[in-house]
Chain A
Amino acid sequence: MNRSVATPWLLVAPGALLFTGLVLVPLVLTVVLSFLAYDHTTGIQDEWTVAHYVHVLTDGYYLAIFWRTLRLAALTTLICALIGAPEAYILSRMGKPWRSIFLLVIIGPLLVSVVVRAFGWSMLLGSTGLVNAALQAIGLGPVRLLYTETAIVIALVHVMLPFMVIPVWTALQKLDPMVEAAAWTLGASRFTALRRVVMPQVAMGLLSGSLIVFGLSASAFAIPGLLGGRRLKMAATLVYDEYMHELNWPLGAAIAILVLVANLVIMLAYNRAVEARARRTLG
């Protein structure tokens, strides 16, 4: 029988079906939807149009939201890298019981729902919250935090940090600890050794961490929804509003596709730029 020919197809079939059913079909439907005309009184029409795309790309309101999404996602990624990389380094240098304990501390928040954590932050950052009470106590407050971009970034960093720490930590695990010692013995200070020897080798971990954090931040929904309030929208909340409040599904679909494409382009470009450099030296 042609068993050997059929086997690989049978083996990929479950995965392929899952992928087709859960990703490909909805995506195609969304693309189709985004090209359908819409009328406020009669709803979705049976004719094709690119009006939604033109509308979104020429209206300053939408562009501002896209720009904010991009900016906040990039800022979150940067802060996560600045906090996550040292955190991963310290973690990798920890002794036996502490390493597992602190790894759990870092991963722990993932076990709590994002919605719950967002509400937690809104309580902390509110006008009568703990942060403002503390700021007032030292004579710096009150400061408006909730429903600002600051609140969104703080909460996003908190949620995304494990996605940065874990890839960097994995990269550090693969590092020969003696390589750093070798740099010291050659006259490098601790800082120089980190910068010249350790950092270039964890670049790949930092890259994958950045891609995950950026992608998740740019499409985050619950945090901007709960901490940004009604006015401070990001891409995902905008799409939600178009679908659920305006009921203009084709416009929502067009925005979703645009966000997807933009995200994809940014991530691929970033990946190419960093990976090409790392590949050349690390192989």
Chain B
Amino acid sequence: MGFLTLEGVSKVYGGVPVVRDVNLAVAKGEFVSLLGPSGCGKTTTLQMIAGLVEPSGGRIRLDGRDITQEKPNRRGLGIVFQSYALFPHMTVAENVSFGLEMRNVPRAERDKRVAEMLGLVHLADMADRYPRQLSGGQRQRVAIARALVITPPVLLLDEPLSNLDAKLREEMQFELRRIQRRVGTTTIMVTHDQAEALSISDRVVVMEGGRMTQIDAPYRLYEQPATPFISTFVGKMNRIAGVWRDGTVTVGNAILESAPADIAPGTAVTALIRPEKLRLCRPGEGRLAGQVASRFFLGGHWLLTVATEAGEIMVSVPNTGEEPAREGEPVGIDWTPATLRVETASEVAA
């Protein structure tokens, strides 16, 4: 039994199901991300938890209490909106103080808690500024402080980092995690950025077409994606269609050795392997021969596309100081058979 549970929650907008039969149990203190492309229903799910959207079906429970019908101002959840939704006519301190005022917290205690919270988000000297005088990252931290100062049982984050530039986004990811660990608030974050979801969550929930298709810890999600969609949406994945024969995947003349699997010979299968699990080697060596089709330098690593008999395969080469093969050069590709997973057509359909 989770601290916050969704039981068969669904939402239909004008006959179109947006969220279908969502079940989720979030433990106390956990950081869960709802990950998915735009239009997958993740924001609607968050808004139903917040009480801003009424579910068409199902129950939402908080600490055992049914809050499905409760008004948003009675739920007491902290929410950080994508646009931050700060009150533009109030100072930073007034913004943060608003929730406490609504709770009739006495002035002296209010001031104390606001100051503490601004200290936590490193904005103590910005208390008298107006939101328009702050940078994007500062506004975001005000929004977090405003949501946390009321000590909500659950903190909801709606794409909190999407309006920040790449560098700041990375900093704020760690900042967000630090604050969450420090305060220990159960947190649900909506994001479309898989790297963000993997790096800061305890568990990641992937949503596709209004359904939750996988709920797992980031590492398992990455290593064992449950659906073809997740395999390509979370990280990069080579997907090679072939036929299962003698414990390998056969693609034309190419034979891809894989982890053992209990599949009937002759079944149509898809071989899955991540670019970073592949090693580039000298021509003639390795398990597969090919020719470099394109090469991108990405700083920490190179991403090569190699044309092989099994089709184009992405290979990630760590930047160790040595330049990898150039476009047009012949290369070999090697891997550990255990890292090549096999998916049957029936799994693909599911």
Contacts and interface: CB of A to CB of B under 8 A. Distances in A.
Interface of A: 176, 178-179, 181-189, 192, 196-197, 200-201, 281-283
Contacts of A200: 89
B130 A186 contact: no
B102 A281 contact: no
Contacts of A186: 73, 98-99, 102, 146, 150
A185 B88 contact: no
A210 to B, nearest CB: 19
Q: Which of B51, B87, B130 has the most CB of A within 10 A?
A: B87
B330 to A, nearest CB: 56
30 contacts: A178-B81, A178-B85, A179-B87, A181-B52, A182-B81, A182-B146, A183-B87, A184-B71, A184-B72, A185-B51, A185-B52, A185-B75, A185-B77, A185-B79, A186-B73, A186-B98, A186-B102, A186-B146, A186-B150, A187-B99, A187-B103, A188-B73, A188-B102, A192-B102, A201-B88, A201-B89, A281-B90, A282-B89, A283-B130, A283-B132
Given A182-B79, A281-B130, A283-B132, A187 B85 contact: no
A47 B337 CA distance: 112
A185 B73 contact: yes
A134 to B, nearest CB: 40
B104 to A, nearest CB: 9
Contacts of A281: 88-90, 130
Contacts of B79: 182, 185
Nearest to A278: B89
B241 interface: no
B73 A189 contact: yes
A179 B85 CA distance: 4
A192 B130 CA distance: 21
A189 B102 CA distance: 9
B228 interface: no
A181 B81 contact: yes
A1 B52 CA distance: 65
A197 B81 CA distance: 16
B163 to A, nearest CB: 12
8 nearest interchain CB pairs? Answer: A187-B102, A186-B99, A182-B85, A178-B85, A281-B89, A184-B72, A200-B89, A179-B85
B64 to A, nearest CB: 21
B83 A176 contact: yes
A15 B6 CA distance: 65
Given A178-B81, A178-B83, A281-B130, A185 B72 contact: yes
A192 B77 CA distance: 18
Interface string B50-77: 1110000000000000000001110111
A198 to B, nearest CB: 10
A160 B71 CA distance: 37
Contacts of A282: 88-89
Contacts, number: 67
Nearest to A189: B73
Given A184-B73, A186-B146, A187-B76, 16 more contacts: A176-B85, A179-B85, A179-B86, A181-B52, A181-B81, A182-B85, A182-B87, A183-B98, A184-B71, A186-B98, A187-B99, A192-B102, A196-B98, A201-B89, A282-B89, A283-B132
Which of B50, B89, B90, B130 has the most chain A CB atoms inside 10 A of its CB? B89
Nearest to B71: A184
Contacts of B150: 186-187
B343 to A, nearest CB: 41
A185 B89 contact: no
Nearest to B97: A186
Contacts of B78: 185
A136 B9 CA distance: 57
Interface in B121-169: 130, 132, 146, 150
Interface in B79-127: 79, 81-83, 85-90, 98-99, 102-103
A192 to B, nearest CB: 7
Nearest to A192: B102
Contacts of B76: 187
B102 A185 contact: no
Nearest to A201: B89
A181 B83 contact: no
B29 to A, nearest CB: 21
B89 A187 contact: no
A184 B79 CA distance: 10
B87 A185 contact: no
A94 to B, nearest CB: 16
Contacts of B89: 200-201, 281-282
B83 A187 contact: no
A237 to B, nearest CB: 42
Which one of A186, A196, A201, A282 has the highest number of Cβ atoms from chain B below 10 Å of its Cβ?
A: A186
Contacts of A176: 83, 85
Contacts of A189: 73
A178 B147 CA distance: 14
B215 to A, nearest CB: 25
A1 B129 CA distance: 51
A197 B75 contact: no
Contacts of B87: 179, 182-183, 197
Contacts of B73: 184-189
Contacts of A196: 98
Contacts of B88: 179, 201, 281-282
A259 to B, nearest CB: 35
A185 B50 contact: yes
Q: By CB atoms of chain A within 10 A, which of B52, B72, B78, B83 has the most?
A: B72
A282 B90 CA distance: 9
